[in-house]
Structure 1
Amino acid sequence: MEVFAEYLANIVNEQHRARTEEVLTWVSERFPNLEPKIAWKQPMFTDHDTYIIGFSVSKQHLAVAPEQAGMVQFADEIVQAGYDHTKELVRFRWDNPVDFSLLEKMIEFNIVDKADCTTFWRK
């Protein structure tokens, strides 16, 4: 988690910092083979140099970006969970619990789906 220390330290709101750290720690512990890194000033996790999942912090939510393929794969579950979303990301509001089960499915999908991927992003 050292790789995320500076990023976390720059989150002014203590509750947002704690939630973000909780999520990043959970991903690191649940998926120890993923490489944590900062790219484009955002925390993310990669596998064999391909993007798996990324996060960003805003005033109202923690955004989770599984790439568009991940969004399409879990569109129904995202809607059923009541999450606001775009084509590229899901917004986990600060005042609601994180659906770690859904997050786990997104990450597992990307790991399997991108197992043979030789580029950072899907083409």
Structure 2
Amino acid sequence: MKDLNEFFSSTSKPEHRFRLEDLFEWTKQNYPQFNVVIKWNQPMFTDHDTFIIAYSSSKKHLSVAPETVAISAFKEAIEKAGYQHTENIIKITWDQAIDFELLKKIIDYNVQEKIAYTKFWRE
């Protein structure tokens, strides 16, 4: 994958693609300091060259990947929002609303926790 256009065009359903584009735009507007990088064939948002969050899509859901530590820190809120999750991703089905308030808390947590971090991933 070379860029975001290729990522968005790989999402087959137009309504899913528009939702992803809106989510990326929301993130860019709320976090203008973030960069979007493509690593491991996946677009990711970074802050001072460290990973903050990534979004991807599957047939059944939108995936939010903020790293395991952040999912653990917000596990109860994620479950209260009605989202399924694994250790690595939060699954938001295509018919579920995105809880932007919760997403902002998760992103802010990563930014704050990694403010002096110099590596891409947490160890």
TM range (shorter): over 0.9
User: d(CA) in 2 for partners of 1:41 and 1:63?
Assistant: 15
Alignment map for 1:27-38 (pairs within 5 Å) = 27-38=27-38
Q: Which stretches of structure 1, 4 residues or more, deviate above 3 A after TM superposition?
A: none
TM-fit CA distance, 1:11 = 1.2
User: d(CA) in 2 for partners of 1:21 and 1:37?
Assistant: 15
User: d(CA) in 1 for partners of 2:17 and 2:38?
Assistant: 16
Tell me the TM-score normalised to structure 1 length.
0.95
Tell me the TM-score normalised to structure 2 length.
0.95
TM-fit CA distance, 1:18 = 0.5
TM-fit CA distance, 1:17 = 0.2
Aligned length: 121
Aligned partner of 1:78 in structure 2 is 78
Letter in 2 for 1:39: K
- Tell me, which stretches of 5 or more residues in structure 1 are unaligned? none
Matched, 1:16 2:16: yes
User: d(CA) in 2 for partners of 1:5 and 1:56?
Assistant: 13
> Cα deviations across residues 44-82 of structure 1 (Å, max 9, x unaligned)?
100111000011110011100110110011011001111
> Cα deviations across residues 78-101 of structure 1 (Å, max 9, x unaligned)?
011110100111001101111111
Aligned partner of 1:62 in structure 2 is 62
RMSD over aligned CA atoms reads 0.9
